[in-house]
Copies of this chain bind each other. A is one copy, B any other.
């Protein structure tokens, strides 16, 4: 979107609020369940904002009054043990919805992994919408089921994969989210490249490892030509199927 003078045009907008027009959340996210009229009403209590990386969105134990849609960037969800050990239990990408409907409070910490663009609205506004748009709950339900599938996939990785296999799985996961198309060369080999949204300690917290092992296994895979790393953060995977094979010992 061009940006600039959105607010002025808003007055004359055909029906869909300007802010929502190019928004992924309206197409693939939860807002797709809303009618024009509902979008207009919701957008009155909506604020778009940029969040800089490492900013906590919600902390464990704190009451949540705002929900958000991710417009761009990556959010990490993590849990803490009383002695400080940390585990990242989920990553979310645009146009995911952040927040737990109907909940007391969860012991989950939500934090911007990268700089983030989000669209926030009060919990109450969403809950009101749910009452009049049952399809909205359906979409939220589906997102919950999708997250459940993802969490269970990750349980398999954490419980049963070696450090190397975990790292390979992680890189595939990120590639699938950030560069889902990839590119195909003349031999039919699929490659992918992207900027890593997480630093090594985060990757370690996601994989249930230490940063040292992440680093060691990564250089190992770099030496084998499975991945190319530039400036720590820029990853190229020359052959993503080869990397997928490294995801479990039998292939």
Q: How far is the CA of A82 from the CA of B199 in the complex (A)?
A: 30
Residues of B within 8 A of A106 (CB): 149
Residues of B within 8 A of A85 (CB): 160-161, 248
Contact in complex: B90, A152 (CB < 8 Å): yes
The 0/1 profile, CB within 8 Å of B marked 1, for residues 178-213 of chain A is 000000000000000000000000000101100000
Q: How far is the CA of A14 from the CA of B79 in the complex (A)?
A: 48
Contact in complex: B148, A81 (CB < 8 Å): no
Q: Name the residue of chain B whose CB is nearest to the CB of A249.
A: B83
Contact in complex: B159, A208 (CB < 8 Å): yes
Residues from 101 to 139 in A contacting B, C-beta threshold 8 Å: 101-103, 106, 108, 134, 137-138
Given A85-B160, A145-B102, A79 and B153 touching (CB < 8 A)? Answer: yes
Residues of B within 8 A of A144 (CB): 141, 144-145, 148
Partner of A155, one of B154, B161, B248, B249: B154
Interface-central residue, A86, A140, A152, A160, by most chain B CB under 10 Å: A152
Instruction: Say if the beta carbon of A142 comes within 8 Å of chain B.
Output: yes
Report the minimum CB–CB distance from A113 to chain B (whole Å). Answer: 17
Q: How far is the CA of A81 from the CA of B90 in the complex (A)?
A: 21
Q: Name the residue of chain B whose CB is nearest to the CB of A207.
A: B159
Given A106-B149, A160-B85, A79 and B155 touching (CB < 8 A)? Answer: yes
Instruction: Say if the beta carbon of A251 comes within 8 Å of chain B.
Output: yes
Q: How far is the CA of A159 from the CA of B79 in the complex (A)?
A: 11
Given A82-B251, A248-B81, A141 and B137 touching (CB < 8 A)? Answer: yes
Q: How far is the CA of A83 from the CA of B154 in the complex (A)?
A: 17
Given A152-B89, A158-B158, A102 and B208 touching (CB < 8 A)? Answer: no
Instruction: Say if the beta carbon of A156 comes within 8 Å of chain B.
Output: yes
Instruction: Say if the beta carbon of A50 comes within 8 Å of chain B.
Output: no
When A and B form their complex, which 7 residue pairs have the shortest distance between CB atoms, in order from nearest?
A159-B208, A83-B250, A151-B151, A158-B158, A141-B141, A89-B152, A87-B159
Selected A-B contacts with CB under 8 Å, 18 pairs: A79-B153, A81-B160, A81-B250, A83-B250, A85-B160, A85-B161, A85-B248, A87-B156, A100-B145, A103-B145, A106-B149, A134-B137, A141-B141, A141-B144, A144-B145, A144-B148, A147-B148, A148-B151
Chain A positions within 8 Å of B, measured between CB atoms, are 77, 79, 81-87, 89-90, 100-103, 106, 108, 134, 137-138, 140-142, 144-145, 147-149, 151-156, 158-161, 205, 207-208, 248-251
